[in-house]
Amino acid sequence: MQFKTTFTSAQVHTCNHCGDACDGSILNAQKQAFCCQGCQSVYQLLAENNMCDFYRMQEGAISKPGTIDEARFNHLNDLDLQRNLIDYEDVQQYRVSFRLPQIHCTACVYLLEQLYRFESSISESKIDFSRKEISISVRKPGISLKSLVIMLHELGYGPDLNHKLGHKQIIDPEKKQLIRKLAVAGFAFGNVMLLSFPEYLSTGGLDEPMVQATIHTLSILLSIPVLAYSGLGYLQSAWTGLKKGILNIDIPIALGMVVLFGRSIFEIITGNGYGYLDSLTGLIFFLLLGRFFQQKTYDEFSFDRDFRSFFPLGITRQNGSKEEEVAIDKLEPGDRILVRNEEVIPADAMLIANRSLIDYSFVTGESHPQERFRGDVIYAGGKIMGAAVQMEVIKKVSQGYLTKLWNHESFSKKHDDRFKTITDRIAQYFTPAVIALAIGGLIYWFPSSPQTAFQVFAAVLIIACPCALALSAPFTFGNAIRILGRNKFFVKNSVVVDKLSQVDEIVFDKTGTLTTSENNKLDFSGISLTAYERRLVKTACRNSTHPLSRQIAGAFEEPAIDEVQLFDEVKGKGIVAIIEKRHVKVGNAALLGLKGHLLKTEASLVYVEIDGVLMGHIRFINDYRPNIEKSINSMAQHYRLSLLSGDGDQEASVLQPIFGEKADLHFQQSPSDKLDYISKRQKAGAKMVMMVGDGLNDAGALQQASIGVAVSEQAGQFTPASDVIMEGQVVPMMHQILAFSRDSRKVIFANLGLSLLYNTVGLSFALTGALTPVVSAILMPVSSISVVISATVLTNFFARKNKLK
């Protein structure tokens, strides 16, 4: 027997389109090699249209064209569905937008904006790169929606149709309004500062009262829209806070704004001074600028709490002998539907086919697929594996099991209204202190000089304005979000980062979180198998529910054979099957009756025998994520850890030492068990529970926890509702990420100190009555800018310290 540890044959060629290795069997007229027909067609298309520039521009891997099963897209012919997707339509044209998650570089933009070259009825296609969206205008009568989607798939940019439903752009009006407010504030700020120049220079050149009057009038006129329009948000927020009796951070800001304005007007009209209008406009401008930068970061990540983004859009409904594609919310109890391989079951149904394998790992966490037989009830959320199966709908989509879970009372309650951001908590002390100081100054000066008294009162409020304080948290967290995003840990907003820094308990899921759900490498030693023999092995494994068989079936890429004469799975031993008259055995040593020197001693070895000949064995490589033990150990030192798994407890003895003796490990957990556990912990006093899980299965628990972290293997492919989405490969870096979030609290406090320093300096000026407009005008922008810079520098420093990118 020759022993070769090969799995794939030696590569000589690389595909001319996507760069993957290929065996040189598919060639075009110029003898260039491709890995598949799809790549060759795309290359042909580009070459014919003189678009080989595409290859020059591309950075990173080219998306492979998908394998198309046209029938899968039939539901796009449904008019109702089309209406949902189409943005605009009239007699001459229609316009539709899609989200294309594969867009990643300039070449993608290039290719997709030249779609009119491939299809003459397309008049325009425009990309929005940051949102990964394309907007296509089609002249009528032109390409149908279904053919358009198929074309995109063939090019390697299959649209993510699940994302589009129910998600119209809500962000834009707010963002536009912010830009407008910013423009007005900036315009006024610049002009008012310029107009204030003569007063600073005070060389006496402007004695003429008319000039002075004009300058003052103009300054006031410019400041009014800034206060009334740009600053309106703060005024409204402060008013709402006051009505509720909460002292939020906007109250001192609004108070400062009003006092600045009032006092300036007073001084100008009574001819006593020049007012503080430049400080006022500058203050509002910088505050809005800070908010704009935050908004920019949030725009990149879209989060929905809409569970329907997980369910398939449409399903095949059978009407007697006719088959039609319908949107899932049109399904009625009694409808017969056909669910294909890898499709998610949209509604609770009864199985009509004789037998089916369903993958419920998203619902129950159980990694073994479940076998169901004719007449069994199948719950929504599972994925069909294998041949397409018929089933009859029992409940409408809105009443399925998953919806019940999703409608659990914990989801509908507004999440953490009571959570006070760190800024709010500081404001609680800050605001009364400032007001007390102002009144104190007033009282102190009143006996000797009432005029100075009022001056001091206003000055204290102005200079103690916590603009630096207000900017500290957004900029720190904003930068933190950006850094975390670079490390594939995508946070919804800065409130979540604030919460992250205060976590005291972490609950982990096992399947897909601590283990990777991608197919792992297998190591086959033995007589090298022919392609047909591999098909036999794969077919045998495909019908089995054992996880090892599934891994083998997934790793072998050859297509399986449908007809199986005999299939027998012996518990604890393996599979015996007869496929196309060949006898196949896949199992452990006991099944094959091996003895002596052929017997290996490792536990998880699977032997393969065909027609009585031992072909070799397969060794499985452990599927826990690399370095996960180190990470968990490190986290155990700062947090209380728990593990909730849907699987059985066969690995408890391995996991307990890693998690530590104090950690709670629970197995056989259903989604509601997990949710209940978290509620229990919260009632027991855990202040901030973070749940790290995977998929719809943990959806309820993710919502119940204060922070829900969803693990996904490929960002963009699967987006459940959660507070954080992280890529599977960075799970072992969690301890670093949490350390970083703890450090960002230190940064906030440091910045707080800095802004307090400025406040102290300014207050000393104000209380002694020496606060002149120049001083306040200088101090405010200086303090704001230095806080912003220090926030950015310090967060970057801590990122590097924690070995993040």
Partner 1 sequence: MAIIVVLICISIAVASLFLWAFIWSVKSGQYDDTYTPSVRILFEDQKTQSTTESKPKRKHK
Nearer to partner 1 by C-beta: 274 or 740? 274
Residue 517 three-state SS: coil
Distance from C-alpha of 82 to C-alpha of 145, rounded to nearest angstrom:
8
The answer to whether residues 101 and 107 touch, using CB atoms and an 8 Å cutoff, is no
Q: How far is the CB of 197 from partner 1 (least distance, A)?
A: 11
Q: How far is the CB of 188 from partner 1 (least distance, A)?
A: 9
Nearer to partner 1 by C-beta: 7 or 187? 187
For 484-503, the three-class secondary structure string (H helix, E strand, C coil) is: HHHCCEEECCHHHHHHHCCC
Q: How far is the CB of 217 from partner 1 (least distance, A)?
A: 10
Nearer to partner 1 by C-beta: 93 or 679? 93
Nearer to partner 1 by C-beta: 173 or 334? 173
Nearer to partner 1 by C-beta: 177 or 627? 177
Q: How far is the CB of 34 from partner 1 (least distance, A)?
A: 24
The token pair that represents 637 in the structure block: 């030192």
Nearer to partner 1 by C-beta: 51 or 165? 51
Nearer to partner 1 by C-beta: 53 or 580? 53
Nearer to partner 1 by C-beta: 176 or 486? 176
Q: How far is the CB of 780 from partner 1 (least distance, A)?
A: 23
Give the residue carrying structure tokens 């800070």: 290
Contacts of 189 (CB under 8 A, 6+ apart): 226, 278, 281, 282, 284, 285
Q: How far is the CB of 113 from partner 1 (least distance, A)?
A: 7
Q: How far is the CB of 302 from partner 1 (least distance, A)?
A: 15
Distance from C-alpha of 547 to C-alpha of 560, rounded to nearest angstrom:
17
Nearer to partner 1 by C-beta: 110 or 446? 110
Task: Determine the angle formed by the axes of helices 209-225 and 250-269, rounding to 10 degrees.
Answer: 160
Q: Which ranges of 515-627 does DSSP label H, i.e. alpha helix?
A: 531-542, 547-555, 589-592
Please give the full DSSP string across 672-726, using - where no structure is assigned.
HHHHHHHHHHHHTT-SSEEEEE-SGGGHHHHHHSSEEEEEESSTTT---S-SEEE
The answer to whether residues 138 and 95 touch, using CB atoms and an 8 Å cutoff, is yes
Q: How far is the CB of 278 from partner 1 (least distance, A)?
A: 15
Nearest by Cα to 222 from 189, 198, 199, 253: 189
The answer to whether residues 377 and 337 touch, using CB atoms and an 8 Å cutoff, is no
Nearer to partner 1 by C-beta: 204 or 320? 204
The answer to whether residues 745 and 501 touch, using CB atoms and an 8 Å cutoff, is yes
Strand 349-351 with 370-373, pairing: unpaired
The token pair that represents 734 in the structure block: 């969690």
The Cβ of residue 781 has, within 10 Å, a number of other Cβ atoms equal to: 18
Q: How far is the CB of 120 from partner 1 (least distance, A)?
A: 5
Nearer to partner 1 by C-beta: 298 or 749? 298
Q: How far is the CB of 195 from partner 1 (least distance, A)?
A: 7
Nearer to partner 1 by C-beta: 176 or 805? 176
CA distances to 699, 700, 702 from 411, rounded to whole Å, are 10, 8, 10
Nearer to partner 1 by C-beta: 210 or 603? 210
Q: How far is the CB of 124 from partner 1 (least distance, A)?
A: 5
Q: The sheet that has 314-319: what strands, in order across it?
A: 322-327, 314-319, 336-339, 389-393, 349-351, 377-378
Distance from C-alpha of 501 to C-alpha of 688, rounded to nearest angstrom:
10
Nearer to partner 1 by C-beta: 225 or 547? 225
Q: How far is the CB of 778 from partner 1 (least distance, A)?
A: 24
Distance from C-alpha of 332 to C-alpha of 347, rounded to nearest angstrom:
10
Q: How far is the CB of 181 from partner 1 (least distance, A)?
A: 10
Give the residue carrying structure tokens 């204030």: 196
Q: Strands, DSSP E only, in 181-332? A: 314-319, 322-327
CA distances to 176, 185, 229, 267 from 179, rounded to whole Å, are 5, 10, 12, 32
Q: How far is the CB of 204 from partner 1 (least distance, A)?
A: 12
Nearer to partner 1 by C-beta: 292 or 411? 292
Nearer to partner 1 by C-beta: 56 or 662? 56
Q: The sheet that has 522-526: what strands, in order across it?
A: 522-526, 613-620, 605-610, 582-587, 574-579, 566-570
The token pair that represents 4 in the structure block: 């070769």
Q: How far is the CB of 292 from partner 1 (least distance, A)?
A: 11
The token pair that represents 428 in the structure block: 């609680």
Q: How far is the CB of 389 from partner 1 (least distance, A)?
A: 43
Residues that bind partner 1 (CB under 8 A): 50-51, 53, 57, 106, 109-110, 113, 116, 120, 123-124, 126-131, 172, 176, 179-180, 183-184, 187, 191, 195, 205-206, 208, 210-211, 214-215, 218, 222
Contacts of 386 (CB under 8 A, 6+ apart): 341, 356, 357, 542, 543
Per DSSP, what are the bridge partners of residue 605? Answer: 619
Nearest by Cα to 46 from 13, 87, 14, 17: 17
Distance from C-alpha of 500 to C-alpha of 740, rounded to nearest angstrom:
10
